[in-house]
Structure 1
């Protein structure tokens, strides 16, 4: 008599006996995955429950229970006197696997995107990736080493001791009124923005703010003035809403309003970073701010003011925000805690004109779930107890010190190789390259040496004549700055053929 096969060998299945997940549940999930992925083919015999139990050193009761569960799910079938088999129904019901490397034409044919997204995706530009550990010269990174973790931990623990109905329920769609009130008070005293808490909406980062504004105010094809070069995240968000971006030049006064009026006088929206133009670092002049406000009022257009790092200035007093001098109610102010606190928060806010409060409330209540309640409560307490003001004041001094060390080291080591600009605000600056040096090649070689620099060109919709690098100085300790500058100097020397002798 021929001995019947013992079924598929399943010793590769692993059981984590230290896990809190029951062994039966682990085994059931693992077998289900093998069956659905075709690792065990339809019609293939499985080992008996006794054999499976012996192979995996588990109880037979557990093995029987797993088989019964999979049979209930119709993934396996039992034949009297013959054992358990993978169900042959899977042959007909399982979709044919897609070609792992389809041609571009086939991909376009098989994947149908909405017309709006299909057109937008071709214009998207990859945002800069950030290393886990801050390094020279990553942009937009606050100083993690200086964040008051003990205070944050105390406020977090305090929140989780609140009644369960407070900490476990759904957050308010438009944001916690306590946090909105705290932000309103901060903006009034620090940025000159006078607004009511009801005009502030809490969002999951500035990117969501741009999406919400675009989806609310833009029809596909509407013209949007956009800084060139400009912020990639905002650019992608507005494109995905159907905006037709009109790239406008940046000069020493900021966005060129006259150029905008020539190219698109009937614009619907303008996006600007007036306090610290991203990425060139220009501070929009007061004259140019009023020009922009007048243009928006005449066109019936809106202005997004992205004040992403306006809390950090190092000399004198900053110019008033657009929002604070907007008499016609055309400015939508967007702020974020990613730079002033830390990016993992993914917490930002939008200050809308009174005319838009009603529609933003309706949208928030209808389709949005709100930012995490615990983060909102902790940030609100952080502001109300005075920690935020103290932190910002302290970080201004630290970033000013890092900026000065960075500029001094760059001027000494990179003279003739890179013209590094002095800035009086923000977390990064730019360096202009000599004619003929490829900014993309510089960035590629620098990355290979363990430092990050961003070509100005990657922020451009239309090419500009200035070639250079965007350089962050805020996220690294002072002792890391000079070694980073040295590496950058070596990269630039290798590409330019010049050699700089330190003075």
Structure 2
């Protein structure tokens, strides 16, 4: 009976050429070298101990040591006391490779891929981001983690794991679906039951699923311009043609949209808090959108991004709450309000659609991990989510006010930052002192080099070159004490950029 492995390294599968006229240690070395160059063994990865390798290969330990010593002499392996033998971080092939050769796999020639494949593998529009020097200043989509009840959530996770997590369910853990339905009915005015809710891994997965079930390849869907690029990408992945429609202060104007695409079969909108501009969709546009969907048999996906966070005025009812024809699919996320690591979102389906979607998902099998869903259900049922939302509404309102005040104090004339009634970020528009010739992409890049994670507004437009410039500043995760220093540093960076433009 083989002895259990104790070195912690993963077992290796090496294919040795039985016909090669080479000593065994040379064949072992060739197989290891080939595995490293093929990236089957990652750089920096720890190799099993020589004794374990010898047992796995059925040879003497001295044979394995000879192979390892040769590879170390060639620069493929490093050996350190207490750390074992590891693959080198820099390989000899990196040093001696001819200049200009790609380090990653080449992009397949157009003849290899379908038209859809070429669209899916095209390089995405670049959105410069950076790890900030100050905590999360000013990264987008990150909730505050200070004050999060980690101990409570850890206790709930431990209780779930102690009893064994239930098997993944195609629709999501029934406990989480019940808790989500109760939460939405009470706090967002979305009347629903557990059978109407499905759990997904994010808005992109949700959109792909809905587009594949409701539309045929080549049909058109209306998307907001500017808008989150991942929405158009998810639709394209499902074979749907996304059509960008300009968004004004009242949100997406239906009449203008249908004049461009009269045969559209789907609209994806963010009515509560448009992403990224922050507008709320007017009641007139909401009713017009609902009338269009009901009259033509089209569908609406309502992404309730930021709907939980409103700091002024009365809370806005979701589009779903106004829907009488069963045409609105409501989408939300726990990752944005709690922990990004959760990777849990949800859809609330109209009654007439829920049965068909359930059958499709059951046939397709589990779509998202069930791990942690039971803990999140108890987190909601025990009132922790409600308390967290109440606290962060106050916290985010204070941080937004601090950001507006810091911009006026340290970037007056350079950036114009206006308060909004809700959300987790603000738009900084160029002021009269903005450096001439500096576009927002270059500005975001300069900020990134200084450790400030701004994002260029133009990157969210279908035609970045024709877009009004601006910088998106997420404030939710930034401690109030860090906001003014970060704005001051950002202003210094942008003023210095004028010397380079």
TM-score, structure 1 normalization: 0.79
Q: How big is the shift at 1:465?
A: 4.0
The correspondence for 2:22, drawn from 44, 50, 56, is: 44
Indicate the residue corresponding to 2:453 in structure 1: 452
1:476-491, aligned counterparts within 5 Å?
476-491=478-493
State the Cα RMSD in Å: 3.3
CA separation in 1, counterparts of 2:353 and 2:326? 10
* Alignment match, 2:203: 206
Preserved CA contact (<8 Å) 2:267 2:299: yes
Q: What secondary structure does 2:178 align onto?
A: helix
Structure 2 partner of 1:395: 392
Q: Which residue of 1 aligns with 2:470?
A: 468
Q: Normalization by structure 2: what TM-score?
A: 0.79
Q: For the residues of structure 1 that align with 2:349 and 2:334, how far apart are their CA atoms? A: 18
Report the structure number with the largest CA radius of gyration: 1
* Aligned counterpart for 2:194 among listed residues 181, 187, 197: 197
Name 1:144's counterpart in structure 2.
Answer: 145
CA distance change for structure 1 residues 261 and 64 in 2, over 3 Å: closer, same or farther?
closer
C-alpha change, 1:444 and 1:124, in structure 2 (3 Å) is closer
1:326-405 equivalences in 2 (<5 Å): 326-405=323-402
Q: Structure 1, residues 342-388: CA drift from partner, whole Å, max 9, x if none?
A: 11100010011112112211121111314332311011000000111
Query: What 5-or-longer segments of structure 1 have no aligned partner?
Result: 1-18, 49-55, 71-75, 77-98, 498-503
* Aligned with 2:57 (options 55, 66, 78): 66
In 1, distance between residues paired with 2:49 and 2:359?
A: 59
Deviation at 1:29, TM superposition (A): 2.4
SS of residue in 1 equivalent to 2:12 = helix
Structure 1 CA distance, aligned partners of 2:267 and 2:332? 16
What does the per-residue CA deviation read over 1:179-198, in whole Å, with 9 as the maximum and x for residues that have no partner?
Answer: 11111111111111111211
Matched-pair contact (CA < 8 Å) for 1:28–1:66? no
Instruction: State the distance in 1 between where 2:476 and 2:414 align.
Output: 22
**CA shift at 1:21, angstroms?**
2.5
Q: How does 1:246-285 map to 2 (within 5 A)?
A: 246-285=243-282
Map of 1:80-95 to 2, 5 A cutoff?
none
Q: Distance in 2 between matches of 1:58 and 1:442?
A: 53
State the shift of 1:26 in Å.
6.3
8 Å contact from structure 1 (residues 289, 322) kept in 2: yes
**Alpha-carbon distance change, 26 to 426 in structure 1, aligned in 2, over 3 angstroms:** closer
Deviations, residues 80-124 of structure 1 (Å, cap 9, x unaligned): xxxxxxxxxxxxxxxxxxx994799x8543872343222344384
In 1, distance between residues paired with 2:397 and 2:10?
Answer: 58
Quick one: distance in 2 between partners of 1:26 and 1:335?
Answer: 40
The alignment of Structure 1 onto Structure 2 pairs a total of residues equal to 434
Residue 129 of structure 2 contacts residue 455 of structure 2 at CA under 8 Å; is this kept in 1? no
Match of 1:109 in 2: 109
Q: Does 1:186 align with 2:183?
A: yes
Deviation per residue, 1:244-294 (Å, 9 max, x gap): 121111111011222101101110111111111111111111111111111
The match for 1:119 is 119
Q: Decide which moves more: 340-349 or 353-362.
A: 353-362
Against the structure 1 CA distance between its residues 45 and 340, is the aligned structure 2 distance closer, same or farther, given a 3 Å change threshold? same
Q: Which has the higher contact order (CA 8 A, sep 6+)?
A: 2
Q: Residue 42 of structure 1: CA displacement?
A: 4.3
Question: Which secondary structure does the structure 1 equivalent of 2:146 belong to?
Answer: helix
Change (3 A) 1:221 1:260: same
2:86 is matched with which residue?
Answer: none
Listed as ranges, the matches of 1:427-438 within 5 Å are 427-434=424-431, 436=436, 437-438=438-439
Secondary structure of the structure 2 residue equivalent to 1:246: strand
Name the counterpart of 1:21.
5
